[in-house]
Structure 1
Amino acid sequence: MNIKNYLDSTYLKTNEQAGLSEQENENIAKGFIQEAIDENFKLIMIRPDRVALAKKMITEANSKVTIGTVIGFHQGATSIIEKLEEATIAIHNGVDDLDYVCNYTAFKNGEIDLVKNEILLGTKLGLDHHKIVKWIIEVAALNDTQIIQLSALIKNVVMANFKEDNYQNVFVKSSTGFYKTENNLPNGATKESIVLMLENASPLSIKAAGGVRNYEEAVEMIRLGVKRIGTSSAIAIANGEVSKSDY
């Protein structure tokens, strides 16, 4: 198994979150991009304002690494109009994957039509431009029943509105990695949450993000059936080391 084919190397901290100046934080982002190029990871996941930078570096290196970004990050509460505008700019700047944060708060509040509409329109924009689309459901904010219901809702919207050959290009993704939990509970992918997603989102693919910090955990996720793993510890995982990162 070439684990690198599954790894979406991720750096999403803002300057404030990193406690760094804009230039210092950009240098870290550049380091992640270069590492993805050097290690030939599947993808570099970067904030929207750095997609153009990643595209430039990858093009100059003649690399096959793809570029992903997050939309509506990290709480997912922005309107679908704002999400579509953000995604459109990312597409213009050369992004390959659009990882939308689903408005899981609206879902929990019973605003199902709102959630269905954003899934439909966000997915359509991505697929119309031949992009991979992922919907982050934030499993740590949901109970098991809600994980099942939201995974199924995304699947049902996609299957009702898009052709079967598009299904492989739409993912349900576990987490942002930035959700604040109480009592130090996991805020990312767990085996239990991933199994629920796999059982209820199929035939869509699953991306496990957050909480995968070593090679063994990554392999376990892949054997369960996930197609992609989002991690800020891609190099540690690829080298068989254990990461102390919180994402």
Structure 2
Amino acid sequence: MDRAGLDTARVAKMIDHSLLRPELTARDVLEGCALAARYDVASVCVKPVDVARAARELSGTDVLVGTVVGFPHGSSTTAVKVAEARTALADGARELDMVLDIGRLRGGEDRAVAEDVRAVVEAAREGDALVKVVFENAYLTDEEKIRACRLSAEAGADYVKTSTGFAPGGATLADVRLMRAHVPERVKVKAAGGVRTLDLLLEMVEAGAERFGATATAAILDDLAGRTAR
């Protein structure tokens, strides 16, 4: 994707405003939802316990509610991940960022990884929700990332995502390019972890990312608005 023509409204709809830090209070979540509504971003990504609260707060807006599944290590059983997905949907979530089973991927248990993803995708379809599969690239080799791309796409994922934002490293341009090159066109790439400036976001757009997890949402969009107003 080229950065040409990316105005503030369009870039806002590429951002999932992240509200996942463990210390966030109910007040913090409500303030984050208000910010997301003010900037009209794509979604908020909240902890499972906050989904119902966020859905109430954002009712009547165009901002979707997303949440995480198997977060942050991907080590929950498939049954638990499916239960998390269904509970989130019932609470109002419409986007699910699930962490794949990192250990099984690294161990070469491809069938188990694919079945885990597919089960969550099937649960998500019951509520017409999107699924983004989080790889946690800081722990993976390029070969493992490529396998994760193939397995996620075959299992029906809508997005592949670089990172949770809670590992030693986050999104990199090299990883975004690698992931874009190894998923079919229908599967999109989400960059998360360390995307804190407009310039980096725009570079990642050129590398192939179409969605971003961000906590610096206001700073990024205010910067773009200031540049386009000149």
TM-score (norm 2): 0.90
The answer to whether the aligner puts 1:5 opposite 2:3 as a matched pair is no
Q: Are 2:190 and 1:207 aligned?
A: yes
2:221 aligns to what?
A: 238
Question: Structure 2: where are the runs of 5+ without partners?
Answer: 1-5, 225-230
Residue type at the aligned position of 1:114: A
Between Structure 1 and Structure 2, how many residues are aligned? 215
Equivalent residue runs for 1:33-72 within 5 Å: 33-59=33-59, 62-72=60-70
Please list every run of at least 4 consecutive aligned residues from structure 1 whose deviation after the TM superposition is greater than 2 angstroms. none
Q: Which runs of 5+ in 1 are unaligned?
A: 19-24, 159-168, 182-186, 242-247
* Shift, 1:5, TM fit: 1.2
Aligned partners of 2:36 and 2:44 also within 8 Å:
yes
Q: Is the 8 A contact 2:94 2:127 kept in 1?
A: no
Q: What is the distance in 2 between the residues matched to 1:9 and 1:220?
A: 19
| Mapping 1:103-118, distance limit 5 Å | 103-118=101-116
Which string of whole-angstrom CA distances, capped at 9 and with x for unpartnered residues, describes residues 133-179 of structure 1?
A: 11001111111111112112212333xxxxxxxxxx71001110001
Q: Deviations over 1:40-77 (max 9, x none)?
A: 11111100110100111111xx2110010000100000
Aligned partner of residue 133 in structure 2, secondary structure:
strand
2:158 to 141, 165, 170: 170
Pairs within 5 Å for 1:1-247: 1=6, 2-15=10-23, 25-59=25-59, 62-158=60-156, 170-179=158-167, 181=168, 187-203=169-185, 204-240=187-223
Please give the secondary structure, in 2, of the residue aligned with 1:150: helix
Retained in 1: the 8 A contact 2:114–2:154? no
Q: So what's the TM-score if we normalise by structure 1?
A: 0.84
Separation (CA, whole Å) in 2 of partners of 1:107 and 1:156: 15
Q: CA separation in 2, counterparts of 1:156 and 1:5?
A: 26
Identity of paired residues, percent?
A: 27
Cα-Cα RMSD = 1.4
Please tell me the residue identity of whatever aligns with 2:56.
Answer: K
